[in-house]
Amino acid sequence: MPTRIGTSLETAVRCLESGRLVAIPTETVYGLAGNALDPRVVARIFSVKGRPSFDPLIVHLSAAEEVFRYASAVPDAAQRLMEAFWPGPLTMVLPRRAVIPDIVTAGLPTAAFRVPRHPVAQALLKRLPFPLAAPSANRFARLSPTRPEHVMEQLAGKISYILDGGPTEVGVESTIVRVADDGKAAWLLRPGGIPAEAVEKVLGMPLLSPEHSHIQAPGQMKRHYSPAVPLMLVDDLAAWIGRHGIPDATAFLAFHTLPAGVVQGAVLSPSGNLEEAAARLFAVLHRFEKDDRVRRIVAEKVPETGLGRAINDRLRRAAAEPPT
């Protein structure tokens, strides 16, 4: 099927209402969207992405109030987070009602919800009589798309329409939080577009790690997505170059300054701003991936605070060894 990029809300609505998939812009990354209440449509999302069925999807709602139709319990702590961060890049995992098909949640008794704040996503969701299930619009284990062209490169021929909302503003996926049913604890399942510190401030308690708890965080594979060329993550580029020199066919990804002598490289934010760095991250990796002269990427860690946590998380996963 031919894939078109366009700005027609009408076309997107028509496709989605007839059970087809559409790539849509959100403030974080582009999503591969379909009717979340139709199991056959959701099954197609998994097959188009090549995604394992144990990895549950996020349900995108048009407004915060809608959560009560799809979640069976919304603790006070979760409501405070909704008030503070919706619409926006925060996803909340809550007990689900039966209207959400099993295939969306990989059979879990919980579902992940978010209200995107991108004006095009908002306008689209308001026009539809159902919420949208949408994973990032990339092939499984590949880079997330922050521009319509990135979606085209990975999904051309597999979907009919890519709704163009320009480059995404935040650039990394949403922060995922699970609040305990009694509201007395909360877990950070994935660092993302809302800094963990901001979530903790609203909650008035520290976020826990799911690692040593009964909380399930499926889909958080160690090697999550990977550029087509190997990526190495180092503490400091200048120190690394001091030891190894500048090898051939190597591109360097710096936080704010490229070391002297580097010709193939990119800077995430010349002023050292973590929000700007997050917004550029995937576009720069896509560019390196397409460049025949680049056969290896050496990236440096950014400060582990605010959006830096999400950036380092994505770089660490990109750098993890492939499973053997």
The stretch among 153-161, 214-222, 279-287, 289-297 that binds ligand TXA (CB under 6 A) is 214-222
In 3D, which of 147, 150, 130 has the Cα closest to residue 138?
150
Work out which of 111, 120, 283, 310 binds ligand TXA, going by CB under 6 A.
111
CB of 218 vs Mg ion, minimal distance in Å: 12
CB of 249 vs ligand TXA, minimal distance in Å: 30
Q: How far is it, in rounded angstroms, from Cα 306 to Cα 236? A: 19
Residues within window 156-175 making contact with ligand TXA, judged by CB under 6 A: 173-174
Report the residue number, 26 or 136, with the smaller CB distance to Mg ion.
136
Residue 34 site contact among Mg ion, ligand TXA, none (CB < 5 to 8 Å, cut-off depends on kind): none
Which amino acid belongs to residue 321?
Answer: E
The stretch among 62-70, 106-114, 247-255, 288-296 that binds ligand TXA (CB under 6 A) is 106-114
Work out which of 91, 136, 146, 168 binds Mg ion, going by CB under 5 A.
136
CB of 218 vs ligand TXA, minimal distance in Å: 6
- Secondary structure (DSSP) of 28-39: SS-EEEEETT-H
Residue 67 site contact among ligand TXA, Mg ion, none (CB < 5 to 8 Å, cut-off depends on kind): none
Q: How far is it, in rounded angstroms, from Cα 130 to Cα 78? A: 22
The stretch among 7-15, 90-98, 132-140, 241-249 that binds Mg ion (CB under 5 A) is 132-140
Instruction: Enter the tokens of residue 26.
Output: 């959100």
Cα torsion for 280, 84, 60, 104, to the nearest 10°? 100
CB of 172 vs ligand TXA, minimal distance in Å: 8
Work out which of 13, 64, 108, 238 binds ligand TXA, going by CB under 6 A.
108
Number of residues that bind Mg ion (CB under 5 A): 1
- For residue 154, state whether it binds ligand TXA (rule: CB under 6 A): no
DSSP-derived pairing of the beta strands 175-179 and 250-254: unpaired
Answer whether 172's CB lies under 8 Å from 309's CB: no
Radius of gyration of the chain (CA): 19
Q: How far is it, in rounded angstroms, from Cα 137 to Cα 165? A: 14
Q: How far is it, in rounded angstroms, from Cα 211 to Cα 217? A: 9
Tokens 């959560």 identify what position? 67
Report the residue number, 192 or 265, with the smaller CB distance to ligand TXA.
192
Q: How far is it, in rounded angstroms, from Cα 255 to Cα 62? A: 35
Tell me which residues touch ligand TXA (CB under 6 A): 26, 28-29, 31, 55-58, 89, 91, 93, 105, 108, 110-112, 134-136, 173-174, 176, 189-190, 216-220
